[in-house]
Structure 1
Amino acid sequence: MFMDIKQLKYFLTIVEEGQITSAAKRLNMAQPPLSQQLKNLEDELGVKLIERGPRHIELTDAGNILKDRAEQILELSDSTINEINDFKKGFKGKLSIGTVSSSGSVLLNDKISDFRKNYPGVKFEIHEGNTFKILELLNRGIIEVGIVRTPFNSSKFHCKYAEAEPMIAVISKNYYFKTKNSYITIEELKEKPLIIYRRFEQLIHETCLEQGFEPEIFCKNDDARTTLLWANAGLGIGIIPKSAFGLGGNDNLIYKEINNDKLITKVSAIWIKDKYISSMAQKFIEYFGENK
């Protein structure tokens, strides 16, 4: 008995398409040779893999077993080829990562500078967007590593976190606050026009409700830099992660840390579980975040 990679690819394409005709079109081949390949595979294994229905094929129990194993075998095959290519190239080539706007000062720290010094042959391709876009780019395989900020659903990903940081209230210098302290409580934001990053809306809303008031959301947006610009114009109080303060125009701004245990966030490097990532990406992750 002998199965080759091509047979497994043909079989999985049939399963994915649900029809031999559609699978043949996708594979750019005629239907009879593909049907013959399936028959040869069934003959070699001595079992029926597929039941042909009037519109769609149905997998037998043996077919389901082969489907699971074939996916694993092809993933291992692709990973092996990629690892060999990495070995041949050395640490050279392009590393595609995705970042949210508020990760800037966390990403561009001394550790990443050290990575650049140690691996000068690595070039970067950066894709920017909100967290949902970064997760989509990861799932589509366009980027290898995403740099996102909590909270997010981490169930599908490996994560390496940077140090936790507080949220801050970003305020125009002429904005009046009773306290002279470097921090404020969440209650001091009551009845104040707030400018917030949309992803933090639920967290901010729930935290304010716990303190007995409904926040006055003046502006929601998808970029920390927009929050800074609007706050800098004196239009309201921006709420952003502390490390994002230096991202935009802030010549007219001061900030105060919000003293609340729930308004804490972390930047995280994430990559998909059980999926190959290049040696470059692995090294990049080693240099990211807290040492553990």
Structure 2
Amino acid sequence: MDIKQLKYFLAIAEEGKITGAAKKLNIAQPPLSYHLKLLEKELGIKLMDRGSRKIHLTDAGEILKNRAEQILELVDTATKELKDFNKGARGTLSIGTVSSSGAALLPDIIENFNKKYPNINFEIWEGNTYNILEMLNRGIIQIGIVRTPFNSQGLSIEYFSKEPMIAVFKDDSGWFDGKKFICLKDLKSKPLIIYRRFEKIIFKCCYDNNFVPEIICKCDDARTTLLWAESGIGIAMVPKTAIELIKAPGLIYKIINEPTLETCIAAICEKNRYMSTAGKNFLNMISNVKDC
């Protein structure tokens, strides 16, 4: 099994037809069919069911499709890294970022970095902290912009300043009028919209304050959490910088005066792994911004 065979297999899986895959790859149909049969013979298992109109993946084919996508991503990343090494300040820098931090941190840094290194291109991957850590581990990205808490083992980390959690809600709700700050107990019996990333932390803090939070909605993205708050059904709990993710004039927020809920943004990379020149320069710029 080689890279070419995996590319051929994925093309057939995506197109659903040998003819469509051959056209996409700009090769003749017979060699493509031959390579598929050769791959199935080598692995000793059927990968595709050939119907009259469309080819369908078997369970084994689905497994190989998932692995093939990962392998080809790694090959693509490795190729870009080697080109970057050869060209110095040219190449592509892959960065993973979580929604609750990317909008607040990345724009200014990327603007300044682009002015200094105009020949560096970017690939931005978005996901939650666990997704970013997995992509970093697989080598798909070089740098991750994540939010605490996370498992720091094997990572080089640049931490930014801590920030509080805030309660975000419609300005006509009448909640917490006249208060600049609120304490966690003020949220007792209030309908809460939380970012699933912080579910365990929020529940623990509420239990420590002798109440069970009333969760009306859990989300996987900070933007979604804020958009639900904009609908007026409840109060979103997000890190303070996340408020910049959407522009909603009808939303206001109060800082939650609870130190145990504080979180911070962090730039991470794996220790003892190759880092491109572009990646090193980007981390240096992050470090300079953090120290300002």
> TM-score scaled by structure 2?
0.69
CA distance in 2, matches of 1:115, 1:178: 42
CA distance in 2, matches of 1:206, 1:243: 23
Cross-structure match for 2:290: 290
Cross-structure match for 1:150: 148
**Counterpart AA for 1:291:** D
2:80–2:91 Cα contact (<8 Å) kept: no
Cross-structure match for 1:108: 106
User: Which has more helix, going by share of residues?
Assistant: 2
Cross-structure match for 2:250: 252
Cross-structure match for 1:218: 216
1:171–1:254 Cα contact (<8 Å) kept: yes
Instruction: Indicate the structure (1 or 2) with the bigger Cα radius of gyration.
Output: 1
Note the C-alpha offset of 1:111: 3.6
CA distance in 2, matches of 1:170, 1:84: 46
**Counterpart AA for 1:256:** K
Q: For 1:132-168, what per-residue CA distance to the aligned partner results, in whole angstroms no more than 9, with x for missing partners?
A: 1111111111111111111111112111122211110
CA distance in 2, matches of 1:270, 1:100: 12
Residue 95 of structure 1 aligns to a residue in which SS? strand
**Counterpart AA for 2:222:** A
* CA separation of 1:128 and 1:111: change in aligned 2, threshold 3 A: closer
Q: Residue 167 of structure 2: which of 166, 169, 186 is its match? A: 169
**Counterpart AA for 1:258:** I
CA distance in 2, matches of 1:116, 1:101: 21
**Counterpart AA for 1:220:** K
**Given the alignment of the two structures, is residue 275 of structure 1 paired with residue 259 of structure 2, yes or no?**
no
Cross-structure match for 1:200: 198
1:159–1:268 Cα contact (<8 Å) kept: yes
CA RMSD of aligned residues (A): 2.4
* CA separation of 1:188 and 1:117: change in aligned 2, threshold 3 A: same
2:160–2:266 Cα contact (<8 Å) kept: yes
CA distance in 2, matches of 1:223, 1:82: 30
1:228–1:250 Cα contact (<8 Å) kept: no
Moved over 6 A (4+): 81-84
Residue 248 of structure 2 aligns to a residue in which SS? coil
Residue 163 of structure 1 aligns to a residue in which SS? strand
**Counterpart AA for 2:146:** V
CA distance in 2, matches of 1:122, 1:286: 15
> TM-score scaled by structure 1?
0.69
Structure 2 unaligned regions, length at least 5 = 1-77
Cross-structure match for 1:89: 87
Note the C-alpha offset of 1:287: 1.4
1:196–1:220 Cα contact (<8 Å) kept: yes
| Deviating more after overlay: 231-240 vs 203-212 | 203-212
* CA separation of 1:177 and 1:277: change in aligned 2, threshold 3 A: same
CA distance in 1, matches of 2:275, 2:249: 41
Residue 175 of structure 1 aligns to a residue in which SS? coil
Note the C-alpha offset of 1:273: 1.4
**Counterpart AA for 2:223:** R
**Counterpart AA for 2:291:** N
Note the C-alpha offset of 1:203: 0.7
Note the C-alpha offset of 1:95: 0.4
* CA separation of 1:111 and 1:96: change in aligned 2, threshold 3 A: closer
Cross-structure match for 1:126: 124
* CA separation of 1:233 and 1:84: change in aligned 2, threshold 3 A: closer
Note the C-alpha offset of 1:199: 1.1
Q: Residue 239 of structure 1: which of 232, 237, 259 is its match? A: 237
State how 1:19-58 maps to structure 2 within 5 Å: none
